[in-house]
Amino acid sequence: MQPAPEMDARDRRILRLLQENGRLTNADLAEKVNLSPSACLRRVRQLEDSGVIERYAALLSRDVLHQDGTAIIFMRMERQNPDIFRAFEEAVHEIPEVMECYLMAGEADYMLKVVYTDAKDFERIYVGSLLRLPGVAGTQSHLALRRVYSSPTLPI
């Protein structure tokens, strides 16, 4: 991992604006940060090239797509072994309903955030995919009742 590049207040403002609306034109962005379009584009390209901006994506409505169920699942592995961890991580990456996966310190080895449409869909994912992951010794699932707050933006 490379060190974070030096950023000034304008770079941070550019990042905040792009997090709010990644479809801003360069001209609109330049106007909002008081730069010429060429200077603004140069800064955006530097932020992209340095890896600060990974990619641009559309945020989809989980409610409209009827994927409003969220489960947080803690998984314990049968052994603390790098090969088992690697196999698990490769396999979990292939399950599209797993939105996030974290290697943990503590009782659980991994924490997964899983989205689903309804109880039947959760059962399909849980029994058909998650319990078949390599090296899993046990799980503990927590089903969210509702999303109170979620933010896709980083504090910059």
85 and 37: one domain? no
Rg (CA), the chain: 20
pLDDT one-digit tens code per residue, 66-114: 998 999 999 999 999 999 999 999 999 999 999 999 999 999 999 999 9
If you average pLDDT over residues 123-141, what whole number do you get?
A: 98
Indicate if 97 and 127 belong to the same structural domain.
Answer: yes
Domain count for the chain, please give it.
2
Q: 23: domain CATH number? A: 1.10.10.10
Q: Would you say residue 1 has pLDDT above 70? A: no
- Rounded to two decimals, the pTM is 0.85
Q: Which of 73, 91, 98, 81 is nearest to 132 (CA)?
A: 91
The HSE-up count of residue 126 (CA atoms within 13 Å, CB side) is 20
Does 123 fall in a domain? yes
pLDDT, one tens digit per residue, over 25-65 is 999 999 999 999 999 999 999 999 999 999 999 999 988 99
Instruction: Say how far apart CA 131 and CA 49 lie, in whole Å.
Output: 39
Give residue 85's identity as a one-letter amino acid code: F
Range of the domain at 25: 9-49
